[in-house]
Amino acid sequence: MSIMFACQSPIAAAVLQLLLAAVVSAQHINVTVDDVSVSLKDSGSSTGERYTLGKLKRLAITCRASSSGVLSPSSFFWRLENSNSSATVDARITVDTKLADNGLSGTSVLNINYPVKSDITNFVCIVNQTASATGRFLSAPLLTMKVDGANEYDVAMWPGESVAILCLVEGNPMGDIRWRSL
């Protein structure tokens, strides 16, 4: 039996959509993906959790499993969805796995240092090839603001959120202020 929660909405900022799935196998393995170590922003949705990633953050997705049989470090495997490729594809992406002393439970953490656009995918934690859970990392471009046509800074915006842009002008006589989109 598989249960998956998904939130289908437009995304206007760097967002992590965490999908939780629990699969029960004949071996009674329970898997959850949780504890995303990024700043939380309430999405107002009961079907998923969304997180805003700041620049230069580390993303950590934790996969926990408990089993009626003994687990080993090789019991955990992280891969990209729709691929058999391991998620540990470069030096920025690492996997740390720890098992309980009795071997009946364990934790595997997928660490992504300085997430980039190529990391936008579904990450799947597979335990003993019989149970899995998925964490999805979604992103869209940030809103880039320019001041005097030179200085730039990024603003992460949530769908439906409003932004106030203030323009302070001094002059005598007062100039004609006009806004335009670039």
For 15, 46, 47, 158, 161, the CA distances from 43, given in Å and listed in that order, are 10, 8, 10, 8, 11
User: What's the pTM?
Assistant: 0.49
pLDDT digits (tens, 9 = 90+) for 73-104: 788 888 877 777 777 667 888 888 898 898 88
The pLDDT of residue 61: 77
Q: Which of 38-52, 78-92, 144-158 has the highest mean pLDDT?
A: 78-92
DSSP 123-150: EEEEETTTEEEEEEEE--PPEEEEETTT
**How far is residue 152's CA from residue 136's CA, in Å, rounded to a whole number?**
29
Q: Are 50 and 7 in contact (CB under 8 A)?
A: yes
Superfamily of domain 2-138: Immunoglobulins (2.60.40.10)
Which residue do the tokens 């003993």 mark?
128
Q: For the chain, give every domain's residue range.
A: 2-138
Q: Convert the pLDDT of each residue in 118-149 to its tens digit.
A: 676 667 777 775 655 555 554 444 555 565 65
Residue 157's pLDDT is: 61
Residues 6+ apart with CB under 8 A from 4: 19, 20, 21, 134
